[in-house]
């Protein structure tokens, strides 16, 4: 989803204007230091430490495919354990044709480490718009599932890894949801959830959209609960959730509350985190600038132990390196993975 860039009070040092985030090298370093405690590494890493890369919301602008190629080369050089793509692998201003989707899929296939992808709104939800080509969003969603999840239970990337798919783990109720997956790395649990911008496809003027939203929303809430249940049962060191939408964006608030499109996801995450009592990281994109802050519940109150990471996107064709030390008190720290040729943030 393409927005004007929204900036919270935590990122005022990085941006004073809605559409221009222009930090030099010094300000970039200061921005990386600005987030709360979980963003800081503590001492030497233990033997089980690893890192992964999070990115998405690109390419958005004409000619950005070259920038994405450079970023992918940068990610490959960084040699992460895996990468997580948070969706919007195409712009909301292009037609959602098979050729466009397939071109982006081929570009991502160059990633050497395993790739875990969760869909964004630009790939399907927004395709009914004129600028999206006037497609049926449900038909486009079927295309995305066939293209990006050809082998349920396996990741993408040149090196594949096994994942648990909701389509198999909860086949009786949620067989269509091949995109919701979970996996474990060195005691840290990960789960992707299909939550997208454009109000998560909740559109009361479109009955088919409403039916799709309600079914997927139920599946998402169940998958989040399942992820927390497995984390508790296996005594996980921490849990990471990743999806596309900025679910607690100020512009989504209605009458002092967040959009009902995201209530189930927010509440399931908050409840699960309070029950788990282990560090939780939530990753999303949608708003296109790097930010680390606290995750809040549906009433806007911070949820203890839950950190929110928002990744770059749109004109900022960069990624974020997430360092994970399962045995540290604060297991997560963050380093902007900047491709200099794409321009400094």
Task: Tell me the pLDDT tens digit for each residue of 41-64.
Answer: 456 777 899 999 999 999 999 999
With contact defined as beta carbons under 8 Å apart, do 203 and 209 qualify?
Answer: yes
Cα dihedral angle (216, 317, 63, 129), rounded to 10 degrees? 20
pLDDT tens track for 249-271: 854 455 567 899 999 999 999 99
What does the DSSP assignment read for 202-259?
Answer: --TT-HHHHHHHHHHHHHHHHHHHHHHHHHHHTT-SEEEEE-SS-TT-GGG-BTTB--
Percent of the chain with pLDDT over 90: 83
d(CA 103, CA 109): 10
Q: Can you say how many angstroms the Cα of residue 57 is from the centroid of all Cα atoms in its chain?
A: 9
pLDDT tens track for 225-255: 999 999 999 999 999 999 999 999 854 455 5
Cα dihedral angle (285, 286, 289, 294), rounded to 10 degrees? -60
Mean pLDDT on 89-95: 96
d(CA 261, CA 252): 9
What's 9-342's CATH class?
Answer: alpha beta
What does the DSSP assignment read for 96-140?
Answer: --HHHHHHHHHHHTT-SS-EEE---STTTGGGGSGGGTS--HHHH
Mean pLDDT on 185-204: 96
Predicted confidence band of residue 36 (pLDDT cuts 50, 70, 90): very low
């Amino acid at each position: 989803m393409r927005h004007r860039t929204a900036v919270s009070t935590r990122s005022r040092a990085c941006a004073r204007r809605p559409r221009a985030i222009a930090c030099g090298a010094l300000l970039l370093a200061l921005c990386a230091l600005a987030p709360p405690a979980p963003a800081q590494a503590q001492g030497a890493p233990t033997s089980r430490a690893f890192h992964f890369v999070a990115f998405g919301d690109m390419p958005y602008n004409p000619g950005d495919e070259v920038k994405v190629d450079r970023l992918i080369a940068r990610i490959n050089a960084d040699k992460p354990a895996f990468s997580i793509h948070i969706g919007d692998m195409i712009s909301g201003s292009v037609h959602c044709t098979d050729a466009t989707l397939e071109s982006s899929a081929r570009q991502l296939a160059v990633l050497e480490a395993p790739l875990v992808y969760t869909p964004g709104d630009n790939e399907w939800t927004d395709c009914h718009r004129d600028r999206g080509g006037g497609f049926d969003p449900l038909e486009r969603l079927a295309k995305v599932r066939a293209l990006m999840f050809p082998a349920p239970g396996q990741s993408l990337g040149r090196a594949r890894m096994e994942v648990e798919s909701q389509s198999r783990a909860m086949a009786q109720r949620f067989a269509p949801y091949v995109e919701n997956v979970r996996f474990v790395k060195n005691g840290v649990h990960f789960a992707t959830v299909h939550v997208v911008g454009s109000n998560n496809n909740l559109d009361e003027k479109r009955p088919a959209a409403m039916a799709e939203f309600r079914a997927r929303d139920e599946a998402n809430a169940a998958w989040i609960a399942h992820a927390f249940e497995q984390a508790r049962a296996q005594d996980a060191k921490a849990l990471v959730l990743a999806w596309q939408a900025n679910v607690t964006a100020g512009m989504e608030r209605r009458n002092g509350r967040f959009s009902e499109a995201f209530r189930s996801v927010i509440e399931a995450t908050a409840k699960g985190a309070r029950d788990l009592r282990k560090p939780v990281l939530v990753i999303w994109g949608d708003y296109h600038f790097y930010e680390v802050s606290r995750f809040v519940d549906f009433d806007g109150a911070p949820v203890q132990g839950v950190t929110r990471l928002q990744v770059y996107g749109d004109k900022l064709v960069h990624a974020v390196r997430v360092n994970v030390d399962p045995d540290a008190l604060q297991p997560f720290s963050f380093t902007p993975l900047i491709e200099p040729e794409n321009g400094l943030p």
